[in-house]
Amino acid sequence: EAQVTQNPRYLITVTGKKLTVTCSQNMNHEYMSWYRQDPGLGLRQIYYSMNVEVTDKGDVPEGYKVSRKEKRNFPLILESPSPNQTSLYFCASSRSSLDSDTQYFGPGTRLTVL
Amino acid sequence: LAKTTQPISMDSYEGQEVNITCSHNNIATNDYITWYQQFPSQGPRFIIQGYKTKVTNEVASLFIPADRKSSTLSLPRVSLSDTAVYYCLVGVGSGAGSYQLTFGKGTKLSVIP
């Protein structure tokens, strides 16, 4: 089954404790991205990746890191989480970087930073 | 950077047609317009996409005027299960071979029995 998976689905952590949210897709997609969703603000893109070893900032990249060492995986790293990073995070992938290609979203990761 | 603007919320009775408009004044020549639907605690999913004029599929229609500065998602005869947030997405090229995608804030559609 074609899908985007994220782990963990729920995470509660404390300020400053490094964490990684994993994202994997099995569709051989080139384009992957991370979004955060906050009430009243909609979906905001954090980082995106055109292909392996190619990443770029989205609208809200501060406090986040990403890597794309393999085509299928695109982990989101919070080196020193802070309470303002409490949010619902979605990973997405698409066949290419063209906006004409459908974005496939993962189920989401709800992160709480205390 | 293209910015999209949508109404924050809309209410509709079951069986009515619903039209949600998205403004994207700075859309680029090569950008497509895509609409996604999101239910609570789920990731968004694709509904419809267009470049110009009118597109129709089994779920919705998308109307895009000639100047492409706006688009209207039309949902025919909505049911309670259409209650969701609807996002308008316009792609923006930030450089050769690089694309950042910008979602709007979404329109929360509530369908009333």
Per-residue pLDDT reduced to its tens digit, B61-106? 999 999 999 999 999 999 999 999 999 988 754 444 556 777 778 9
Lowest mean pLDDT segment, chosen from A81-85, A108-112, B43-47: B43-47
Of A56, A90, A100, which has the smallest distance from its Cβ to B98's Cβ? A56
Confidence at residue B92, expressed as pLDDT on a 0 to 100 scale: 56
Q: What is the rounded end-to-end Cα distance, in angstroms, of chain A?
A: 36
Selection from A8, A46, A48, A5 nearest residue A25 by Cα: A5
Residues of A in contact with B105 (CB under 8 A): 40-42
Tell me whether residues A98 and B31 touch, CB distance under 8 A: no
Mean pLDDT within A95-103: 78
B48-60: burial string, b at 16+ Cβ within 10 Å, e else: bbbeeeebeeeeb
pLDDT (tens digit per residue) in A22-69: 999 999 999 999 999 998 888 899 999 989 999 999 889 999 999 999
Selected residue with higher pLDDT from A97 and A66? A66
What confidence tier does A96 reach under pLDDT thresholds 50, 70, 90?
A: confident
pLDDT (tens digit per residue) in B5-26: 999 999 999 999 999 999 988 8
Q: A57: helix, coil or strand?
A: strand
Whole-number CA gyration radius for chain A: 13
Looking at chain A, the whole-number percentage of residues with pLDDT higher than 70 is 98
Query: Which residues are CB-contacts of B50 (< 8 A; sequence separation ≥ 6)?
Result: B32, B33, B62, B64, B71
Confidence at residue B30, expressed as pLDDT on a 0 to 100 scale: 80
Contact A63, A78 (CB under 8 A): yes
Tell me whether residues A99 and B90 touch, CB distance under 8 A: yes
Of A31, A43, A97, which has the smallest distance from its Cβ to B87's Cβ? A43
Q: A113: helix, coil or strand?
A: strand
What confidence tier does B27 reach under pLDDT thresholds 50, 70, 90?
A: confident
Of B31, B87, B101, which has the smallest distance from its Cβ to A33's Cβ? B101
Mean pLDDT within A73-90: 97
Confidence at residue B94, expressed as pLDDT on a 0 to 100 scale: 46
pLDDT (tens digit per residue) in B33-63: 899 999 988 999 999 999 999 999 999 999 9
Tell me whether residues B42 and A100 touch, CB distance under 8 A: no
Selected residue with higher pLDDT from A37 and B30? A37
Closest approach of A99 to chain B, Cα-based (Å): 5
Selected residue with higher pLDDT from A11 and A103? A11
Chain-centroid distance of CA A33 in Å reads 6
> For residue B3, is pLDDT > 60?
yes
Confidence at residue B98, expressed as pLDDT on a 0 to 100 scale: 52
Residues of A in contact with B62 (CB under 8 A): none
